[in-house]
């Protein structure tokens, strides 16, 4: 009799706990689900719909294009991308190479230096945490003033000729922007990389040290394979990033980057960006074109990203810890 | 103990934080304002959003305090007495899209907005701007512009004259200049959004002009006097011909100074010069054809011959009449307005700008990315000190608000209002229609104020509008900001003395005939043709043939001066582009075929 009661009580407890677990799961997921529904599903649906509209300036709203012009925004995109704006793609590739092939490997090495507390790690930490903490707007202002007031001022004090206007001068602007892109790109995802490296088991590292592994070999043979899943995620856009890469153009130039540096990503952003200086310009007229462009780029990118993933899965060392 | 201490501090902070979150709401706040006026905490609040740019908002605070005092014993809501004006100054959140979102979602929305944007029919159609017609047309002012002796009628929700008081004779509309009175009125036809023959909203006023500031070259009058450069035949001894103008620039260069500076990043001040130039050259009516597309224009013989050379069949067009002297008269409409690209003022303007954008004349620092409009203002003012090898700058291209905006910098050069600056009117342009006109332009057309259509205090908002457009309130505005609004009011000698010399100069240009300068106030924003307003080809806020972006390519909407300084032949900057390429570029872009294509595409969407 007592056992029966106990069993019944246990069953009720179990059910209560299950219900509580369920409520917990639903509550925990609800926020993310709502977030996903609004900012992914709704945003994408709205963007797809907008690709088939034009903006009526009088009414201030988007109107679906007539049937015979329904693909006008897509036609405009292909005309742009195959026409003179092909340099935008090349510039996108340039900045993408800087961030993916130059900054990414170095950012891992820097994270390794900090993680291993090698000599100079304190300086790296301070130097590279700054751009991560301050944000691009502050860093870019700092960089511009250091160059245009600091370096330029010193130059003018001690040199005969005046310092060139390196941000607008076609001879120097690519270099100037590239230096900033590297400076800003080096930290990469420093916090994530440091976090994943700190999870590498100490036993493994000690074993490596006993085997006489150099630091470089430890980095290549232990650390990189161990953090490979994180690296893989960061590299998924390796072959598609040039479409939308903006480099640091907006941070440095706002809406007036020199033509010879502009990327397609920057071009599209400027098309929809309502700046203070263009307070009266209504960039909603460009939403249709930009939505169509994004849709096309998305369609082109999906198989490439899957291909990239497949490639990385092939070379994944499969290290687990 | 430590934990307890933390708990105590946190508990103590909760009411403090809760209380502070209500500050500014008026509810329960019994503090005093800066003039010692004591709030009861039971007032109706009126939130006024104001663009905190060059004008600041001290004028609003001052007028607001007076308003609070005058209506302290009037109830605008049940259970409340008096009113509290809560200014909401901001810059970033008053971008058009953010204002629209705030109103739409009714989050952080204000009751009234004084912005730096054009609102137009879009704000009516979307239900953002309230109908304020009664506030604008009701007579509430005496002949002297002050509010008549009136009292608040809560039932009618408006001011009514007290018994025996002098009847008011003027309204806000009566105080507006003609172009604004007509331009800001929305007719039945303009409000027929669904094109069914009847207006979707009541015809009337939904916004009012706020700023209407001049823009142009501002010269350092003290420097000019000191250097003896005011020895020409024009206004104030300034150059009166284009040749003399460039002679002056050469003299400034010879004195080892920089003729002018500006911020290359801010191109939207320059249309003031373009508008003034075209209006001065063509005459007001012919200039306005560029956005009304409705009227007659006669091209001179040379231009007519060029048109025939470019379009041999042009004489067969119905809209064109060949006159006995070989000139063409065209009935301009939406479908043939591309011909306005042939207006001689367009090529004359480009020639002037090409010459002006000579590297020896402009400040080379415009090529710096950090040289924004405030940097240009700072440098113009502080160049007097000659520090760090900085050459003295003689002129700057800016707007009427610049002096107030850079007020702090004058502390280093003798104090605010101690130096004299003036607007530089355009000299005579060879071939201009009326030989006597010398102009600057009212640049900030379409800078509006409006009442939020969702406000629950519409009557109070309308009362505020009437109060804020009284003679004394308008005077306060000018004395606080140095900027003169385009309404009928005037400052007496004593009040004028409180302005800086530059403020007095702009006041006299706008409100009197003393200076001999004509102000051209374009209606391009407030009264445009539909095709003009909707498409880049039509004009899209710029006059046909004055926007480098469309005619000569490029990926940013450049204004010609921006484009020309970037193609001025400075080493490392864009290559030099000659005037022929630029002038031909206008008519190469504005072709009959291009126009027809754009017009047909636009029409098919109507």
User: Within an 8 Å CB–CB cutoff, is residue A20 touching chain B?
Assistant: no
For residue A56, the chain B residues in CB contact (below 8 A) are: 534, 605
Mean pLDDT of B361-372: 93
Out of A277-291, B61-75, B167-181, B418-432, least confident range:
A277-291
Residue of A nearest to B123 (CA): A60
CB under 8 Å to A291, separation ≥6 — which residues? A47, A48, A50, A51, A73
3-state SS string over A238-288?
CCCHHHHCCCCHHHHHCCCCCHHHCCHHHHHHHHHCCCHHHCCCCHHHHHH
Put simply, the answer to whether A148 touches B266 (Cβ < 8 Å) is: no
Put simply, the answer to whether B574 touches A69 (Cβ < 8 Å) is: no
What tens digit of pLDDT does each residue of B51-91 get? 998 888 999 999 999 999 999 999 999 999 999 999 999 98
Would the pLDDT of B497 be above 50? yes
Task: Give residue B551's pLDDT band: very low, low, confident or very high (50, 70, 90).
Answer: low
Partner-chain residue, chosen from B264, B555, B557, that has the shortest CB–CB distance to A262: B555
CA distance B570 to B559: 19
Task: Give residue B391's pLDDT band: very low, low, confident or very high (50, 70, 90).
Answer: very high
What tens digit of pLDDT does each residue of B202-242 get? 999 999 999 888 999 999 999 999 999 999 999 999 999 99
For residue A174, the chain B residues in CB contact (below 8 A) are: none
CB B33 within 8 A of CB B433: no
CA distance A16 to A276: 57
Separation of first and last alpha carbons in chain B:
75
CA distance A49 to A35: 20
Q: Is residue A55 part of a domain?
A: no
Token pair 């005459």 is found at B283
Would the pLDDT of B46 be above 70? yes
Whose CA is closest to A105, among A243, A242, A240, A224?
A224
User: Within an 8 Å CB–CB cutoff, is residue A254 touching chain B?
Assistant: yes
Phi, psi at B46, each rounded to 5°: -130, 110
Q: Which residues is B322 bridged to in the sheet?
A: B328
CA distance A172 to B411: 37
Would the pLDDT of B21 be above 60? no
Complex-level ipTM beyond the 0.95 threshold: no
Residue B246: the pLDDT is 98
Same fold, B35-212+446-497 and B214-276+353-444+510-521: yes
The order of strands in the sheet holding B320-322 is B295-299, B328-332, B320-322
Token pair 């195959």 is found at A82
Partner-chain residue, chosen from A57, A145, A153, that has the shortest CB–CB distance to B370: A145
Put simply, the answer to whether A278 touches B557 (Cβ < 8 Å) is: yes
Put simply, the answer to whether A164 touches B126 (Cβ < 8 Å) is: no
Task: Give residue B462's pLDDT band: very low, low, confident or very high (50, 70, 90).
Answer: very high
Host domain of residue A220: 68-315
What tens digit of pLDDT does each residue of B242-252 get? 999 999 999 99
Would the pLDDT of A67 be above 50? yes
Put simply, the answer to whether B265 touches A256 (Cβ < 8 Å) is: yes
CA distance A31 to A25: 11
User: Within an 8 Å CB–CB cutoff, is residue A4 touching chain B?
Assistant: no
Within 180-199 of B, beta carbons closer than 8 Å to A belong to: 193
Whose CA is closest to B241, among B381, B431, B82, B110?
B431
Mean pLDDT of B405-420: 93
Residue B32: the pLDDT is 65
Mean pLDDT of B187-192: 88
Residue B26: the pLDDT is 38
Classify residue B495 by burial, with Cβ atoms within 10 Å: 0-12, 13-18, 19+.
middle
User: Within an 8 Å CB–CB cutoff, is residue B178 touching chain A?
Assistant: no
How far is the CA of B17 from the CAs of B11, B12, B39, B78, in angstroms?
10, 9, 21, 29
Residue B281: the pLDDT is 95
Partner-chain residue, chosen from A57, A259, A277, that has the shortest CB–CB distance to B268: A277
User: Within an 8 Å CB–CB cutoff, is residue A149 touching chain B?
Assistant: yes
What tens digit of pLDDT does each residue of A34-64 get? 999 999 999 999 999 999 998 876 677 888 9
Task: Give residue A133's pLDDT band: very low, low, confident or very high (50, 70, 90).
Answer: confident
Mutate to test the interface with A, among B123, B190, B207, B369 (most CBs of A within 10 A): B369
Task: Give residue A277's pLDDT band: very low, low, confident or very high (50, 70, 90).
Answer: very low
CA distance B72 to B81: 7
Classify domain B214-276+353-444+510-521 by CATH number: 3.40.190.10
Task: Compute how many other C-beta atoms are within 10 angstroms of the C-beta atom of residue B143.
Answer: 10
Strands (E), B162-222: 185-186, 204-205, 208-209, 214-220
CA distance B545 to B341: 6
CA distance B258 to B219: 12
CB A247 within 8 A of CB A269: no
Residue A1: the pLDDT is 59
Alpha-carbon gap: A52 to the closest alpha carbon of chain B (Å) = 13
Whose CA is closest to A80, among A264, A270, A286?
A264
Residue B133: the pLDDT is 97
Phi, psi at B31, each rounded to 5°: -75, 180
User: What value does the mean pLDDT of chain B take?
Assistant: 88
Partner-chain residue, chosen from B126, B267, B368, that has the shortest CB–CB distance to A60: B126
What tens digit of pLDDT does each residue of A97-129 get? 998 888 888 888 888 888 888 888 888 778 777
For residue A280, the chain B residues in CB contact (below 8 A) are: 96, 117-118, 268, 446, 525, 541
Token pair 């098309």 is found at A271
User: Within an 8 Å CB–CB cutoff, is residue B378 touching chain A?
Assistant: no
Task: Give residue A279's pLDDT band: very low, low, confident or very high (50, 70, 90).
Answer: very low
Mean pLDDT of B553-570: 74
Residue A119: the pLDDT is 85
CA distance B353 to B514: 29
Partner-chain residue, chosen from B118, B268, B388, that has the shortest CB–CB distance to A153: B388
- CATH number of the CATH domain containing A249: 1.10.3720.10
Alpha-carbon gap: B326 to the closest alpha carbon of chain A (Å) = 40
Q: Is residue A130 part of a domain?
A: yes
Residue B606: the pLDDT is 73
Residue A59: the pLDDT is 73
* Domains held by chain A: number: 1
Give the whole-number percent of chain A exceeding pLDDT 90: 26
User: Within an 8 Å CB–CB cutoff, is residue B555 touching chain A?
Assistant: yes
CA distance B506 to B54: 15
Residue of A nearest to B265 (CA): A256
| Tokens describing residue B200 | 């979707």
Put simply, the answer to whether B556 touches A255 (Cβ < 8 Å) is: yes
Residue B546: the pLDDT is 67
Residue B431: the pLDDT is 93
Task: Give residue A321's pLDDT band: very low, low, confident or very high (50, 70, 90).
Answer: low
Angle at A183 between CA A182 and CA A188, to 5 degrees: 80
For residue B189, the chain A residues in CB contact (below 8 A) are: none
What tens digit of pLDDT does each residue of A255-264 get? 888 888 999 8
SS3 B441: strand
User: What value does the mean pLDDT of chain A take?
Assistant: 85
Put simply, the answer to whether A60 touches B364 (Cβ < 8 Å) is: no
What tens digit of pLDDT does each residue of A175-230 get? 999 999 998 888 777 888 888 888 888 888 888 888 888 888 888 888 888 888 88
Task: Give residue B444's pLDDT band: very low, low, confident or very high (50, 70, 90).
Answer: low
CA distance B101 to B95: 10
CB B300 within 8 A of CB B344: yes
Q: Following DSSP, what letter does each residue of B245-259 receive, concatenated?
A: HHHHHHHHHHTT-EE
Residue B556: the pLDDT is 45
Put simply, the answer to whether B95 touches A145 (Cβ < 8 Å) is: no
User: Within an 8 Å CB–CB cutoff, is residue B446 touching chain A?
Assistant: yes
The order of strands in the sheet holding B44-51 is B83-90, B44-51, B112-114, B448-451, B208-209
Task: Give residue B14's pLDDT band: very low, low, confident or very high (50, 70, 90).
Answer: very low
Residue of A nearest to B117 (CA): A280
Within 122-141 of A, beta carbons closer than 8 Å to B belong to: 141
Out of A230-239, B4-13, B407-416, least confident range:
B4-13
Partner-chain residue, chosen from B95, B267, B534, that has the shortest CB–CB distance to A57: B534
Out of B129-143, B183-197, B277-291, least confident range:
B183-197
CA distance B234 to A314: 81
Would the pLDDT of A314 be above 70? yes
Residue spans of alpha helices (H) in A66-210:
72-82, 86-97, 104-115, 121-134, 136-145, 152-158, 173-185, 190-198, 202-210
In chain B, where are the structural domains located?
35-212+446-497, 214-276+353-444+510-521
Mutate to test the interface with A, among B555, B561, B577, B601 (most CBs of A within 10 A): B555
CATH superfamily of B35-212+446-497: Periplasmic binding protein-like II (3.40.190.10)
Would the pLDDT of A155 be above 60? yes
| Tokens describing residue A276 | 């203070």
Would the pLDDT of B112 be above 90? yes
What tens digit of pLDDT does each residue of A90-102 get? 899 999 999 888 8
């Amino acid at each position: 009799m007592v056992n029966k009661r106990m069993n019944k009580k246990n069953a009720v407890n179990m059910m209560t706990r299950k219900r509580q677990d369920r409520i917990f799961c639903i509550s925990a997921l609800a926020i993310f689900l709502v977030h996903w529904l609004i900012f992914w599903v709704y945003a994408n649906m709205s963007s797809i719909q907008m690709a088939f509209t034009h903006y009526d300036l009088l009414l201030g709203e988007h109107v679906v294009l007539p049937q015979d012009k329904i693909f006008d925004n897509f036609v405009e995109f292909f005309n742009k991308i195959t026409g003179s704006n092909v340099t935008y793609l090349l510039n996108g590739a340039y900045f993408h190479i800087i961030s993916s092939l130059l900054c990414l490997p170095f950012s891992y090495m820097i994270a390794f230096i900090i993680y291993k507390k090698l000599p100079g790690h304190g300086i790296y930490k301070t130097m590279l945490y700054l751009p991560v903490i301050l944000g691009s707007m502050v860093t870019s202002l700092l960089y511009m003033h250091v160059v245009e007031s600091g370096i330029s001022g010193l130059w003018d004090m001690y040199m005969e000729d005046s310092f060139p206007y390196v941000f607008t001068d076609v001879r120097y602007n690519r270099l100037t922007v590239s230096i900033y892109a590297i400076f800003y790109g080096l930290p990469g995802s420093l916090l994530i990389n440091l976090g994943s490296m700190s999870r590498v088991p100490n036993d493994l590292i000690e074993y490596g040290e006993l085997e006489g592994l150099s630091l470089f070999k430890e980095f290549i043979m232990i650390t990189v394979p161990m953090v490979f899943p994180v690296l893989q995620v960061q590299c998924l856009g390796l072959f598609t990033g040039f479409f939308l890469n903006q480099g640091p153009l907006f941070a440095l130039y706002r809406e007036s980057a020199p033509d010879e540096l502009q990327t397609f990503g920057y071009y599209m952003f400027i098309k929809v960006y309502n700046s203070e200086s263009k307070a009266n310009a209504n960039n909603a007229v460009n939403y249709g074109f930009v939505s169509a462009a994004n849709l096309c780029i998305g369609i082109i990118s999906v198989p490439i990203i899957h291909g990239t993933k497949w490639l990385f899965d092939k070379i994944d060392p499969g290290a687990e810890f | 103990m430590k934990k307890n201490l933390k708990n105590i501090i946190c508990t103590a902070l909760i009411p403090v934080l809760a209380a502070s979150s209500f500050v500014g709401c008026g509810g329960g706040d019994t503090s005093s304002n800066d003039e010692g006026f004591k709030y009861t905490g039971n007032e109706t609040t009126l939130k006024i959003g104001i663009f905190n740019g060059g004008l600041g908002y001290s004028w609003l605070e001052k007028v607001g305090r007076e308003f609070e005092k005058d209506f302290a014993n009037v109830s605008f809501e049940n259970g409340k007495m008096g009113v509290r004006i809560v200014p909401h100054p901001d810059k970033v959140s008053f971008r058009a899209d953010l204002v629209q979102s705030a109103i739409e979602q009714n989050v952080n929305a204000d009751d009234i907005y004084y912005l730096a944007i054009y609102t137009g029919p879009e704000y009516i159609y979307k239900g953002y701007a309230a109908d304020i017609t009664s506030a604008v047309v009701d007579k509430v002012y005496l002949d002297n512009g002050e509010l008549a002796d009136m009292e608040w009628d809560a039932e009618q929700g408006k001011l009514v004259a007290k018994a025996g008081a002098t009847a008011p004779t003027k309204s806000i509309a009566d105080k507006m200049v003609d172009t604004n009175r007509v331009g800001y009125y929305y007719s039945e036809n303009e409000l027929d959004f669904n094109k069914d023959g009847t207006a979707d909203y009541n015809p009337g006023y939904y916004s009012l002009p706020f700023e209407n500031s001049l823009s142009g070259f501002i010269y350092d009058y003290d420097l000019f006097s000191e250097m003896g450069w005011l020895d020409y035949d024009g206004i104030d001894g300034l150059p009166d011909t284009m040749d003399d103008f460039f002679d002056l620039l050469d003299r400034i260069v010879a004195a080892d100074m920089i003729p002018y500076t500006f911020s290359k990043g801010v191109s939207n001040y320059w249309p003031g010069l373009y508008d003034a130039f075209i209006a001065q050259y063509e005459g007001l009516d012919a200039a306005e054809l560029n956005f009304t597309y409705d009227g007659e224009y006669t091209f001179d013989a040379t231009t007519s011959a060029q048109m025939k050379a470019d379009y041999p069949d042009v004489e067969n067009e119905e809209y064109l009449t060949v006159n006995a002297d070989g000139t063409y008269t065209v009935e301009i409409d939406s479908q043939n307005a591309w011909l306005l690209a042939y207006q001689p003022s367009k090529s004359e303007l480009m020639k002037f700008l090409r010459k002006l954008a000579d590297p020896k004349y402009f400040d080379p620092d415009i090529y710096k990315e950090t040289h924004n409009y405030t940097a240009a203002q700072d440098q113009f003012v502080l160049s007097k000190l000659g520090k760090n090898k900085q050459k003295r700058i003689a002129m700057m291209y800016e707007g009427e608000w610049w002096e107030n905006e850079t007020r702090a910098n004058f502390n280093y050069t003798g104090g605010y209002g101690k130096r004299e600056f003036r607007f530089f009117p355009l000299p005579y342009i060879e071939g201009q229609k009326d030989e006597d006109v010398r102009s600057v332009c009212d640049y900030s057309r379409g800078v509006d104020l409006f009442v939020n259509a969702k406000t629950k205090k519409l009557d109070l908002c309308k009362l505020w509008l009437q109060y804020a457009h009284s003679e004394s309130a308008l005077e306060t505005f000018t004395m606080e900001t140095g900027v003169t609004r385009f309404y009928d009011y005037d400052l007496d000698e004593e009040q004028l003395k409180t302005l800086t010399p530059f403020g007095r100069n702009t006041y006299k240009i706008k409100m009197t005939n003393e200076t001999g300068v004509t102000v051209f106030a374009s209606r391009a924003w407030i009264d445009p043709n539909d095709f003009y307003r909707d498409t880049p080809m039509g004009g899209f806020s710029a006059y046909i043939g004055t926007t480098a972006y469309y005619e000569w390519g490029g990926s940013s909407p450049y204004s010609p001066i921006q484009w020309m300084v970037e193609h001025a032949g400075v080493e490392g900057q864009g290559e030099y582009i000659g005037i022929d390429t630029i002038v031909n570029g206008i008519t190469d872009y504005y072709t009959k075929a291009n126009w027809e294509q754009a017009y047909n595409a636009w029409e098919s969407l109507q």
